[in-house]
Amino acid sequence: MRDLSSFHHIETLCAQAGYDPASGDPRVPPIVQSTTFYYDRAEQLADLFDLKAEGCFYSRLGNPTCEVLEKKVAALEGGVGAIALSSGQAATLLTVLNVCGAGDHVVCSQAVYGGTFNLLDVTLKKLGIEVTFVPAQASQAEIEAAIRPQTRLLFGETIANPAVEVLNFEAFAGAAKKFGILFAVDNTLATPVNCRPLEWGADLVTHSSSKYLDGHAVALGGIIVDGGRFDFSDNPRYPEFNRPDESYHGLVYSRDCGNRAFLVKARGQLLRDLGTTMSPMNAFLTELGTETLHLRMERTNRNALAVAEFLAGHPEVEFVRYPFLKGENAALAKKYLTGGGGMISFGLTGGRERAARFIAALKLFANVTHVADLRSSVIHPASTTHRQMSEEALEKAGIRPNQIRLSIGIEHEEDLIADLKQAIERA
Ligand SMILES: *Cc1c(COP(=O)(O)O)cnc(C)c1O
């Protein structure tokens, strides 16, 4: 095997990290389409079941193709390891359930993906897990005021979908550190090319890999990356980490698993019991996507900034939200991001009806639910993803009736701007 450990540039990691073939192996990571794995002796399998040895034995708990993707994304984010899951929703779910049970509490940024909001506000509430939402750009004092003795997790999004607000990392990380609470960040829309949350005080990073990591809209998936720095030992908030797990013969995660306590517990307990596993085929497709992530993000960042500036200068545009446009976002964007990604929210004059006419008049921008695809897309949240909400509820969620969400792809910026221009005129 070649030693690649001295190469750290994100471009090199995108192209090569995660898979290191031995002599005679396939150059490209193979798709290991097998649910199960063979061992010569019964004791070998017993050690795997007891988490005493590392290796694959059943694909619900781990698979060689998924491992390639896990190593790749862990390297991109600067973490010690990762766990690949069936969707971004599964990544958020396991992040919460690995540290929370009934009676526990999460502090979450209000500007998060709708699925995350519903998971915490509806489904996990029914299981007895409480949540307090705070602004994405809250001060540390505001965040601290929301923390309770039962708080087990702080959660936010680097760039919020669809509010396009940049997270106040320093405030969340400061509060997390002061109270000894785990801090997890959903980095889906920024990607490790534009921001590495572990460098800004996050303990865990999650992704919906269905978005930029895949990038081609072919594979649903989710990932949790562990920074490996959070100390669970002697922390009274995390008894499940520092007391024996009888389902593994008295294993103590914080004592016995080094800097992988979070991942070993998430895989050993939650993947075992919930089965929200990524398939090898999806891991292969997602890994293939990550190989060009840096190139796609470079073009996406450039295109989106050009489009945001065009919209900001257009007389029939009421508002535009993009990380590097002036306003509250700009200072945080300059501090934490090297690029703004592809999501833009904006509103046309003429309200809800004109927004619908505008979308119908677009040619290059496809009207789809997905974002972060290499093809540009558009959606009108008030008449699609958020159509069940009253005008009042929309306002609370930070979504205006005329708000349009663009996801900018890797086409030529002049074509994208020409399409937007003609559609504004026709609408
Ligand atoms: C899409 C998305 C999710 C959910 O991911 P799925 O793969 O669709 O389950 C979570 N967070 C963010 C920021 C997203 O954009």
For residue range 349-376, list pLDDT tens digits in order. 999 899 999 999 999 999 998 999 999 9
Beta-strand pair 317-321/130-134 = unpaired
What pLDDT score was predicted for residue 326? 81
Burial of 259 (0-12, 13-18, 19+ CB in 10 A): middle
- Given ligand 1 and candidates 85, 208, 277, which is best to mutate, with the most ligand atoms within 8 Å of its CB? 208
* Structure token digits, residue 389: 């909400």
Using the atom order of ligand 1, give the atom closest to the CA of residue 221: 7
Q: Are strands 151-157 and 182-186 parallel, antiparallel or unpaired?
A: parallel
**How far apart are the CA of 31 and the centre of ligand 1, in A?**
24
Strands (E), 217-360: 222-226, 317-321, 343-348
Confidence of residue 382 (pLDDT cuts 50, 70, 90): confident
pLDDT band at 136 (very low <50, low <70, confident <90, very high): very high
CA distances from 427 to 23, 380, 382 (A): 60, 14, 17
- The model's pLDDT over 59-85, given as tens digits with 9 standing for 90+, comes to 999 999 999 999 999 999 999 999 999
> With a 6 A CB cut-off, is 72 part of the ligand 1 pocket?
no
* Residues facing residue 166 across a β-bridge: 159
Which residues make beta-bridge pairs with 184? Answer: 155, 204
* 175-187: pLDDT as tens digits: 999 999 999 999 9
Residue nearest (by alpha carbon) to ligand 1 atom 4: 88
Check pLDDT > 80 for residue 118: yes
> What would the CATH number be for the domain defined by 294-426?
3.90.1150.10
The CA 379 to ligand 1 mean position distance, Å, reads 15
pLDDT band at residue 51 using 50, 70 and 90 as cut-offs: confident
For residue 286, the one-letter residue type is T
Domain boundaries defined on the chain: 10-289, 294-426
CATH of domain 10-289: 3.40.640.10
